[in-house]
Structure 1
Amino acid sequence: MKSFREIVDESCSGSSGCEGLPSCVESHGNPRVPVRRAIRTLGNYLILTKPRVMELLLVTTAPTMILAHDGMPGLGLLILTLIGGALSAASASAFNMYIDRDVDALMARTEARPLVTGAISPRAGLIFAWLLAGLSSAFFWTFVSTLAAALSACAIIWYVVVYTLLLKRRTTQNIVWGGLAGCFPVLIAWASVTGTVSWTALILFLVVFFWTPAHYWPLSIRYGEDYRRANIPMLGAVRASHPVAVRVLMYAGATVFCSFALIPVAQMGVVYSVSALIGGGWFVAHAARYVVATSGQGAGKPMQVFLASNIYLGFLFVAVAADTLLQLQ
């Protein structure tokens, strides 16, 4: 199947003698060409927001709001909080791509990003990031709460300054402490409903905190060559697979332990308790199998642990929402 870019390029090639999009528009006045260019530009700006990362962060927001409200919160507040969170995460990602465009050019996984290829200029990318940052803070301040706006700003600052600028290129512990930015959505969600941050919210914060290295280190093993080429000291790129696998197992265990702590603190019911036990056991089993697989000369399959971590986090937070709603019946 042809790519979108190939289809557009073909519209300006062949017997017509067109050598580029502008001349093609001038020669033929084809109204579909500028539309295609606009769609491609919008797609490139969307890439700057890292939609898959945003999606993972937002999956923790709605269940946390349901737990904080002890039931389904107002639909309007739920939607507004999700929009604000998406804007905040998009801003942090756009800043990250602007700052890291030099090392992104060295890695096969990121060499096609818009700021690397020139599809979007660095100046335009930076302006876009600042616009999203201002919009997310103003949005939370106006429609949700002051505390939510402050937490959103802290999340952006932490990801951009602490992780991207200070830690990422200097220490193997970059994702441990830099990953705190990914924990803020649960605090924002809780604050959106209650106007405060409670012990329950902090436990959920710790669940995401310990989950993040267990989630990301297998990915850094898979793309270790990329990180070494770019001189970024991700743990999986600069250490042997087995000791990294052991640390993944330790952080997976800490994640599951924190998920159990939620049961007495938030008075979770049977649905959550059983789900946390089964899901946690499944996640830890994947991490343990990876430790065994890397104990000899084998490299194991780090992406299986990475995918398992994604499934586990989504499953756990769905259980949070389901347990809360079912207890109301």
Structure 2
Amino acid sequence: MQDTLSNPIRHNRDWLQVIQSYVQLTKPRIILLLLFTTAGSLWMAANGQLDPKLAIITLLSGTMAAGSANTINCLYDRDIDQIMERTRSRPIPSGRVSPRDALIFATTMAIGSFMLLFTFANLLSACLAMLGIFFYVVVYTHWLKRHSTQNIVIGGAAGAIPPLVGWAAVTGEIGWPAWVFFALIFLWTPPHFWALAMMIRDDYASVNVPMLPVIEGNEKTTKQIMLYTLTLIPASLLLVYPLGVMGAIYSIFAVVLGGLFVKKSWQLMQVPDDLVMARSVFKYSIVYMLVLCVGMVIDSLPAMHSMMAYVQSVALGVLV
């Protein structure tokens, strides 16, 4: 572990830095991606006619639940975060936030998330949000991360729960489209995270975290990335057929985005030690999920339904 000379204790200089430190604990860039998946599920469940109040409450609650889970993750991993170059400047290992204060912060957000969803949505969505925290903290962070190369595969279920929350908030149940969205994120997580793990393999090796690139090497990792990426196109199109909750616009998004993802994964498989290519795959994986969710929203808009119905009527008229 780093001593205080190589990793000196720092303190927040003012209230702005205090706020920045607590925001950093929540890992806001990860939260943003989770909110996109929640929003996509909300719109899909509401057929594009979403109650703005419910949307804001669900997204706010999702932010708090994810922030709580990420904060506890930072708290639990503070020993290895102090060693890894990428993470040693985080608020807890750097001394800007104490472990006690981080735990209070995380607990407060978890309770707030549950109460908001329970009060303004329903009990099912509130319980699902808490399940996401439990799965990320206990199953992934505590049980899998330091003990199995399948950590991110099984642990990816935690990041796939927000669409279930969004669907349940609107409908009060978990429909098949929500489960398909869950499966899509579950399949997307390994190629997304393994590409990152390839880039920082030495960091993970230094703290004995058995990420796949550390244990099996880059070549086998790229093959696994390719395998999971190939499943994304058929999985994403299940929302079109047989479920029928998405239409032609979304189909175009899914096929084009999935095709580009497969292409990039194939390129990485040809040069498994090229970290620049690994970074490209990692960045594109984020673009893939964000834009796919945008495609869901666009396809769900009432105006889009009207336009597609008009196009179909014209096409039928021409055929007749």
Instruction: Using structure 1 for the length normalisation, give the TM-score.
Output: 0.87
Aligned length, in residue pairs? 295
Structure number with greater CO (CA < 8 Å, separation at least 6) is: 2
Q: 2:281 maps to what in 1?
A: 305
Counterpart CA distance in 1 for 2:118 and 2:214 is 41
Segment of structure 1 superposing worse, 87-96 or 126-135: 126-135
Q: 2:223 maps to what in 1?
A: 246
Q: 2:87 maps to what in 1?
A: 110
Residue 324 of structure 1: which of 290, 300, 306 is its match? Answer: 300
Counterpart CA distance in 1 for 2:274 and 2:199 is 13
Instruction: Using structure 2 for the length normalisation, give the TM-score.
Output: 0.89
Q: 1:275 maps to what in 2?
A: 253
**1:189 CA drift (Å):** 0.3
Moved over 4 A (4+): 297-300
Distance change >3 Å, CA 76–CA 223, structure 1 → 2 = same
| Pairs within 5 Å for 1:193-208 | 193-208=170-185
Kindly report the root-mean-square deviation, in angstroms, between the aligned alpha carbons of the 2 structures.
1.6
Distance change >3 Å, CA 189–CA 82, structure 1 → 2 = same
Contact 2:226/2:262 (CA < 8 Å) preserved in 1? yes
**1:238 CA drift (Å):** 2.3
Larger radius of gyration: 1
Counterpart CA distance in 2 for 1:149 and 1:290 is 40
- 1:83 and 2:60 are equivalent in the alignment: yes
Counterpart of 1:234 in structure 2: which amino acid?
A: M
Q: 1:166 maps to what in 2?
A: 143
Q: 1:10 maps to what in 2?
A: none
| Pairs within 5 Å for 1:45-194 | 45-194=22-171
Distance change >3 Å, CA 176–CA 143, structure 1 → 2 = same
Deviations 1:96-142 (A, max 9, x none): 00000000011011000110011111111111111111111111111
**1:143 CA drift (Å):** 1.6
**1:237 CA drift (Å):** 2.3
Identity %: 37
Counterpart CA distance in 1 for 2:198 and 2:255 is 28
Contact 1:168/1:175 (CA < 8 Å) preserved in 2? yes
Structure 2 segments unaligned to the other structure (5+ residues): 1-9, 308-320
